[in-house]
Amino acid sequence: MGEMADYEADRFSDWQARDGGPVTVEGWIKHTTDKAILVEVDGEETWPPKSQIPDQDWDHLFDEKVTVEVPFWLAKQKGWADDEE
State residue 38 phi and psi, 5-degree precision: -95, 115
What's the confidence (pLDDT) of residue 71?
Answer: 82
In a domain, 45, yes or no: yes
What's the confidence (pLDDT) of residue 17?
Answer: 42
Given phi > 0 = left and psi -120 to 50 = alpha, else beta, which region is 20?
left
In a domain, 83, yes or no: no
Please tell me the total count of domains within the chain.
1
Tens digit of each residue's pLDDT (9 = 90 or more) over 27-82:
899 998 989 889 898 888 888 888 888 877 777 787 888 888 888 888 888 888 77
Rounded to two decimals, the pTM is: 0.64
The CATH number of whichever domain residue 24 belongs to comes to 2.40.50
What's the confidence (pLDDT) of residue 13?
Answer: 45
CA 32 and chain centroid, separation: 12
CA distances from 52 to 47, 76 (A): 11, 13
36 Cβ partners below 8 Å, 6+ apart?
Answer: 47, 48, 49, 50
In a domain, 84, yes or no: no
Domain that holds residue 44: 3-78
